[in-house]
Amino acid sequence: MNPWDFIIGNPVLNVLIALSHFLFGQFGLAIIALTIIVRLVTWPLNKRQLKSTKALQDMQPKIQELQKKYGKNQQKLQQEMMKLYKEAGVNPLGCLWPMLVQFPIWIALYQAIMRALATTPENLLDLAHRLYSWGIVNQAVPLSSKFLWLDLGQPDPYWILAIIVGGTMWIQQKMSQAPAVDPRQESTNRMMTLMMPLLFGFLTLMFPSGLALYWAVSNIIGIITQYFATGGWGYLKFRSPFKPKPAKGK
């Protein structure tokens, strides 16, 4: 057995199957429960990320001041901003860690879903060699791939999950994305805020819906924790469609 399967692949697979045993044989509920567990385990990292987000939000007036002051000298602006981050004890790249930590979990989860659902006899035979001797695991297989309107081993044919994944990711990004004074930077930020949800929405159409379910639930938990940890919707502005826009030139 290779180290990956021994350390991550097979434990995730067996935990997922064991969870579905306790959750009425519903593999979809097991994926949701695993998402919550993963979120709890990675909470210390997420907490640091949220702290950074909050600190960045608080620093915005100073950052905007620097951007106004050194807008034409990018090198100087970068130096001053790094100085500001250092003084405040904030690492602007710190928010990447929870994302990076999740990559192996995504891979393990993708493998676990495909292995657990065993759509061919070869898959089922392979599964036999990966299961622990726990009674609950062996009693739970083979799993049903049906959950709500989804076949968890196949992409969602109705695009509902793609919209949820893309939408929740957009909200989460908007909550933490500070507006930039530099129009070019603002344009890049806007592009990134749109590209990532579109990319994940597109991936949802390609990957098994079990994995997309993980992304959707993970995003929703992310939005909730961010809301409570940073005390609101952050940079996400809900504009009333009835509020009149100020007239140009006035």
Partner 1 sequence: MGTVDGRVVAINSSTQSKQWDYTITPATTIYTAPILHGDLVYIGTYSGQVYALTIARGTERWVYPRTGSMGAIVGSLVIANETIYISSSDGRVYTLDTTYGDLKWKSEPLADKLWTSPTVIGDTLYVSTFDGHIYALSAGTGELLDWSFKAEAGFVSSPVIDENTVYVGSFDRHLYAIKIGGDTPVWKFPKEKPAGNWFWASPVVNEGIIYAGCLDGKLYAIDTETGERLWEYDAGSPIVSSPVLMDNLLIVTSEKGTVHVFDLNANLQNALAPLKVIPINTTVRSSFCAREGVVYIRDENNQLYAVDIDKGEVSWMISLAQKE
Contacts (CB under 8 A) with partner 1, residues 62-81? none
Is there a contact between 81 and 63 (Cβ–Cβ < 8 Å)?
yes
CA distance 119 to 138: 17
Residue 36 contacts partner 1 per CB under 8 A: no
Q: Which residue among 44, 142, 231, 232 contacts partner 1 (CB under 8 A)?
A: 142
Q: How far is the CB of 221 from partner 1 (least distance, A)?
A: 30
Contacts (CB under 8 A) with partner 1, residues 144-173? 144, 146
Q: How far is the CB of 208 from partner 1 (least distance, A)?
A: 17
CA distance 120 to 105: 24
CA distance 27 to 30: 5
Q: Which residue among 72, 129, 237, 243 contacts partner 1 (CB under 8 A)?
A: 129
Q: Which residue among 141, 163, 181, 205 contacts partner 1 (CB under 8 A)?
A: 141
Tell me the two tokens of residue 101: 């930590």
DSSP state of 26: B
Contacts (CB under 8 A) with partner 1, residues 105-124? 120-122, 124
CA distance 199 to 167: 11
CA distance 219 to 216: 5
Q: How far is the CB of 237 from partner 1 (least distance, A)?
A: 47
Residue nearer to partner 1 on the CB measure, 89 or 121: 121
Q: How far is the CB of 169 from partner 1 (least distance, A)?
A: 33
Residue 92 contacts partner 1 per CB under 8 A: no
Q: Kindly report the three-state secondary structure assignment for every residue of 204-249.
A: HHHCCHHHHHHHHHHHHHHHHHHHHHHCCCCCCCCCCCCCCCCCCC
Closest CA to 49 of 220, 151, 172: 172
Residues that bind partner 1 (CB under 8 A): 120-122, 124-125, 128-129, 133, 135, 138-139, 141-142, 144, 146
